[in-house]
Amino acid sequence: MPVKSVVPKQRKRSSCVNLKRSDLTMKAMILAAGIGSRLLPLTESKPKALIEIQGVPLLEHTIRYLKYHGIHEIVINIHHFASQIIDFIRQKDSFGIRIEFSDESNELLDTGGGLFNARAFFDDQQPFLLTSSDVITDLDLNELYRCHKKNNPLVTLAVKHRESSRVFIFDKDYHLCGWHNNLTNESRIARAVSDSKKIAFSTIHIINPALFELITERGCFSIIDVYLRLAASHNILGFEHDQSAWFECGRVDNLKLLNQSPEIQIIYKKYHRLPKLT
């Protein structure tokens, strides 16, 4: 499926140096195609990415967060109420940056299939960022990027010690070794490890485009399955960011707390350049 483009009226770039917040020139993909079943009944009439937290659509926050860090080229995959997302981006004049769409209207492709379907967007042979649209965090993407550039793994995964039904398994040097489901006690081991760490995934990745040549899966598939298949023979690293705030916004049962969170107000004020929300 072709990638569709929405071009802003005017696009500005920063000329700052020394890899400050506005110098992170990676491209990025936002995963926004999901049905949002855990947010029913809200997602019966709109996509999950347009659910509002403290008056701000999740997708808008994600775009402003990426733009704050200097990312000015973004592709968004769309499926559920796809036209609403396209219209929203157009109404915002693409937030003054380049935003394109990877259309999954005919088939929802999951995280791995969605990324592979949009691979033509990442044509500069540079590392890029992949994130979901349903998290709010103040993770410093510059630190994540520096870690990736220093170690040059195939993928760097942002991870945080927190309660979660599913966790990644790493060795002492944060090489990905497996995955564990805390509810079912199922484990998937990619490489043997004795001194392991179990840490929850923050759904933010930095990926080398060499990954595309290693993806043999087709159609609908999870990117996590790809990582677990490759972890035995390729360097996939975890980046721990325990000092960062991180909120999952994909469940209807925690929306009330999120809408009252002062931490989210602080995050919005930082990344949106808005006055304090009340």
Q: How far apart are CA 134 and CA 123, in angstroms?
A: 26
Average pLDDT over residues 150-177: 96
* H-state helical runs in 134-220: 141-151, 211-214
Please say if the pLDDT value at position 18 is more than 80. Answer: no
- For residue 188, list its beta bridge partners: 179
Torsion sign over Cα 39, 40, 42, 45: positive
Average pLDDT over residues 157-165: 95
Q: Greater confidence, 276 or 105?
A: 105
Q: How far apart are CA 193 and CA 146, in angstroms?
A: 26
For the CA atoms of the chain, what is the radius of gyration? 18
pLDDT (0 to 100) of residue 193: 87
Please say if the pLDDT value at position 232 is more than 70. Answer: yes
Average pLDDT over residues 67-71: 94
Picking from 4-8, 116-120, 193-197, 244-248, which range would have the lowest pLDDT averaged per residue?
4-8
Picking from 37-41, 103-107, 196-200, which range would have the lowest pLDDT averaged per residue?
37-41
Average pLDDT over residues 86-99: 96
- Taking alpha carbons only, the member of 251, 211, 259, 265 closest to residue 234 is 211
pLDDT (0 to 100) of residue 10: 38
157 contacts 236 by C-beta, under 8 angstroms: yes
pLDDT (0 to 100) of residue 196: 92
Q: What is the mean pLDDT of the chain?
A: 89
For residue 231, give both structure tokens: 């972890």
- For the chain, domains (ranges, CATH) are 3-272 (3.90.550.10)
Give the pLDDT band of residue 251 (cuts 50, 70, 90).
confident
CA distances from 103 to 6, 62, 108, 117 (A): 13, 19, 9, 9
